[in-house]
Structure 1
Amino acid sequence: MAKIAIFDFDGTIVNTITDVALSFNKALETHGFPTHPMEAFDGFVGGNLETVVSRMLPKDAISDENIDKVKFTYREIYGTSPKENTKPYDGIMGLLQDLKDAGWKLAINTNKGQKLVDDLTAELFPEGMFDSVVGYLESRPSKPDPYGVKMICEECGGDISDAIYIGDGMSDVNTAINAGIPCVFVTWGQGDFDGDFDDVVSVSCVEGLRNELLG
């Protein structure tokens, strides 16, 4: 049975932070909230969109109403922006191709909206690179729920015991733990590795990830 490599998207295989930050600042400004310097967004992103928005709002402005306003405006702005700064991390394309050549199934599991991740994947990667792409839909649970992992394994025709999760945030670690599969935490993204977990290792470069997956 071919192994299944499940990748987070933002901060793991694609550097999206600049375009994400620009869109969030426009959304915040639209509703009269303070904007943030680019470097602050490393500490904001990770998890579902509601959690991300709550981190960047002033503490006295955190409410369901304000979170929803910024969230929906951000989705509109980001969805229609050109994303000129978004691209795969150096070395990722070669690693993905090597995994494909070695018989692996490749998948994406992200809390980014399904249409957005479908469009970006089609734009940034060769056709057929990924065997399954599972993004956010309101009709199904988001990470760290293991729903997406189970869906991917089914679509890839494999068992969950064949899968390994690769991500840059604690939501990715928790998704892997909840699914009962090993995880590789990559440190080049926006997350901080926090804790000592069984079946979780961290790597600081794409070559380190290659060694973990291909030996």
Structure 2
Amino acid sequence: MKKLIILDFDGTLVDTLTDVALCFNEALRQTGYPQHPLEAFAGFVGGNLETVVSRMLPPDRCTTDDIDRVKTCYRELYLSSSKPNTKPYPGMMDLLQELKRRGYALAVNSNKGQVLLDNMVDKMFPPHFFDAVVGYQENRPSKPDPDGVRRICDSCHLPMEQAVYVGDGASDIATAANAGIPCVFVLWGQGTEQDRTDSRVYRCVQTPEELQALLTKEDW
């Protein structure tokens, strides 16, 4: 039986895409790079920040210096933004509260910076709602390295064999595979058709209600 539910943040728990896209476009404008239609950003996000920025820069202007310039500007803009369009997906709070009621441990694993992730979790969820929250720090590997999963399992005092990973992108699938745990793929995020059909995906779900049914009734 699985006892620990590890969830990705952006695109799985919380709809952050609009505010992320707006801040990236402003960062691109301020640093002199071409901007993109908001709908294009679903294809850019996923992975660490360096990878995301590299996807939106022109091939002939995608050096390490270019990426660092946009990344630094974006971080400042996103941190100071009030993020008016960012909120948990419909039905997500009901799902999480039911899982907690049934005794599951809940955790967040994200490539969002740890301080920013902590602030956003504190803003959008009740105090101490999650048993562990692991984001990106420069002194430790980012997803898809399984380091975050190991840290969460250690913090929750549960073995990896009792964990399941829930995410919406390629980095989530790879993180779960690298940790040796099942990945449940949600279809409401920014994942691609290639992600959905990845052989490493355990199940795909279309709604939080379907996810709840899977997590609470599946014979793992």
Name the TM tier (shorter chain). Answer: over 0.9
Q: CA 1:131–1:190 in 2, change beyond 3 Å: closer, same or farther?
A: same
CA distance in 2, matches of 1:2, 1:43: 32
**Which range moved further: 97-106 or 196-205?**
196-205
- TM-score in terms of structure 2 length: 0.95
1:210 counterpart residue number: 212
Q: Could you tell me which residue of structure 2 aligns to residue 90 of structure 1?
A: 90
Aligned to 2:74: 74
1:168–1:191: 8 Å Cα contact kept in structure 2?
Answer: yes
Cα shift at 1:16: 0.3
| Shift in CA distance, 52/212, structure 1 to aligned 2, threshold 3 Å | same
Equivalent position of 2:174 in the other structure: 174
Q: Is the 8 A contact 1:2 1:158 kept in 2?
A: no
Distance across 1 between alignment mates of 2:207 and 2:214: 11
Q: Structure 2: state its 5+ residue gaps.
A: none
Question: Which amino acid is the alignment partner of residue 162 of structure 2?
Answer: D
C-alpha contact 1:114 1:137 (8 A) present in aligned 2: yes
Call closer, same or farther: CA 1:61–1:183 in 2, change over 3 Å: same
Contact 2:173 2:201 in 1 (8 A): no
Amino acid at match of 2:3: K
On the 8 A contact 2:95/2:212 being kept in 1, the answer is yes
**Compared CA separation, residues 3 and 45, structure 1 to 2 (3 A):** same
The 8 Å contact of residues 2 and 105 in structure 1, kept in 2 or not, is answered as no
SS for the counterpart of 1:166 is strand
Task: Give unpaired runs (5+ residues) of structure 1.
Answer: none
| Residues 2 and 103, structure 1, Cα contact 8 Å, conserved in 2 | no
Helix, strand or coil for the counterpart of 1:26?
A: helix
Partner of 2:185: 185
CA-atom RMSD in angstroms: 1.2
Matched residue type, 1:71: K
* TM-score (structure 1 length as normaliser): 0.97
Does structure 2 conserve the Cα–Cα contact (< 8 Å) formed by 1:12 and 1:167? yes
The equivalent of 2:165 in structure 1 is 165
CA distance in 2, matches of 1:61, 1:176: 33
Residue 67 to residue 118, structure 1, CA distance change in 2 (3 Å): same
Q: 1:116 — aligned with what?
A: 116
Contact 1:8 1:168 in 2 (8 A): yes
* CA distance in 2 between partners of 1:41 and 1:92 (Å): 23
Tell me what 2:100 maps to. Answer: 100
How many angstroms apart in 2 are the aligned matches of 1:78 and 1:181? 32
Find the aligned partners of 2:115 and 2:85 in 1 and give their Cα distance: 19
Is the Cα–Cα contact under 8 Å of residues 166 and 185 in structure 2 kept in the other structure? yes
Q: In structure 2, what residue type is equivalent to 1:6?
A: I
Tell whether the 8 Å contact from 1:173 to 1:200 is kept in structure 2 after alignment.
no
